[in-house]
Structure 1
């Protein structure tokens, strides 16, 4: 049985990413729905791990802000972290972020997987929460000819079937916001019928928060890790 790992919104949280990858175990492929950087204290190490693991990833809004040096779309605190992140990143990792596509379709022998950070129609700015109406989901996905659609951006896990297409948001690896501080990921099984399971794993939150303090990053982004908001 093929096993595809789904991750999103790592946000520079290396401790969370390492815990997720260990818990996930061996996967045939790993797909990331964007936002490798932002908020967290170890952006270079996260990008290095994603690159070395040959993770297929698309661009998120924080990735774009950091790579392009365009911070205005972010709120004041997030923009400050994005500036710090850009200063921290090695040139090769800025180039890597700049080279990411906003959308991707990953072909399999039997099934195709469409990946975007936000929504298919607005990859960087809009998002789909679990409470989105069926009409909204249909409008966003009706022109996508894939069996699974992988999203990020909300930091809230979601799994819905609409018009024969499975929409999956694995939630956030590094900055969960569904009132559960454990890191999120998902396992996609593209067999006869495409299915997915949302997974949670504990990680060293205190260690991440301490690194954020040592780096001078906003206290808010460390505190919220303990509460998942």
Structure 2
């Protein structure tokens, strides 16, 4: 069984549409998302519609929570402006869907236990966990019984790392990569082989940047052109 893994879409429906198509072409059976469906970008309603159609199961990210409950004061000026705009322009039905997102998903698929969270198991919404932060001590601190697969988001930087019997995946960001590669990032998890791969997907960044420029600060449009 193959699982598509995505995260940090950030109201970029052009990237999401291409990612969903690429995952379908690769024969994934279902898709899990590590949160931050909205924020930064200019197409929250279309993102939510595409995720609903594709039946994607997601946890809540800090930007999702910010749309529901108010922009966090620690956000920088650009992030605040984008989140405030998203809150004003997203359909109320989608706000309800965001409000219903769990902080974590822990489920068994084909005999393998998968744990999905946006930030970290101990701080689901706000913590940033990079590949260099991960070791056996992290797992022992975070879990009484570590899952076979741990999915994280938040950092917009993809990686796959095996720690003991646990495979840790950060699929990177669909809508705002920050690793110097502007292509959308996602991952494919093969449960039969217990291995994963990062997949980069081309999309029309120029079109998305133009859409963002119409309503949001210029730096938010520029960064998706360079993957920064």
1:164 maps to what in 2? Answer: 165
Deviation track 1:174-218 (CA, whole Å, cap 9, x = no partner) reads 000001111000000112x42100010110000000001112x01
2:83 maps to what in 1? Answer: 82
Q: Distance in 2 between matches of 1:9 and 1:3?
A: 20
Instruction: Label 1:133 to 1:54 Cα distance change in 2 as closer, same or farther (>3 A).
Output: closer
Within a 5 Å distance, the mapping from 1:34-183 to structure 2 comes to 34-135=35-136, 137-183=138-184
Residues 58, 103 of structure 1: 8 Å contact kept: yes
Instruction: Label 1:105 to 1:219 Cα distance change in 2 as closer, same or farther (>3 A).
Output: same
Residues 78, 220 of structure 2: 8 Å contact kept: no
Taking structure 2 as the reference length, the TM-score comes to 0.95
Deviation track 1:131-178 (CA, whole Å, cap 9, x = no partner) reads 225255334544344210001000000111112100000000000000
Please list every run of 5 or more consecutive structure 1 residues that lacks an aligned counterpart in the other structure.
none
Residues 71, 82 of structure 1: 8 Å contact kept: no
Q: Distance in 1 between matches of 2:212 and 2:141?
A: 36
Deviation track 1:41-75 (CA, whole Å, cap 9, x = no partner) reads 10011011111211010000000001112431322
1:17 maps to what in 2? Answer: 16
SS in 2 for 1:212: helix
Q: How many positions carry a matched residue from both structures?
A: 226
1:205 maps to what in 2? Answer: 205
2:195 maps to what in 1? Answer: 195
- RMSD, aligned CA: 1.3
Q: Distance in 1 between matches of 2:142 and 2:134?
A: 12
Please list every run of 5 or more consecutive structure 2 residues that lacks an aligned counterpart in the other structure.
none
Residues 59, 102 of structure 2: 8 Å contact kept: yes
1:186 maps to what in 2? Answer: 187
Q: Distance in 1 between matches of 2:91 and 2:134?
A: 42
Q: Distance in 2 between matches of 1:133 and 1:103?
A: 19
Residues 188, 199 of structure 2: 8 Å contact kept: yes
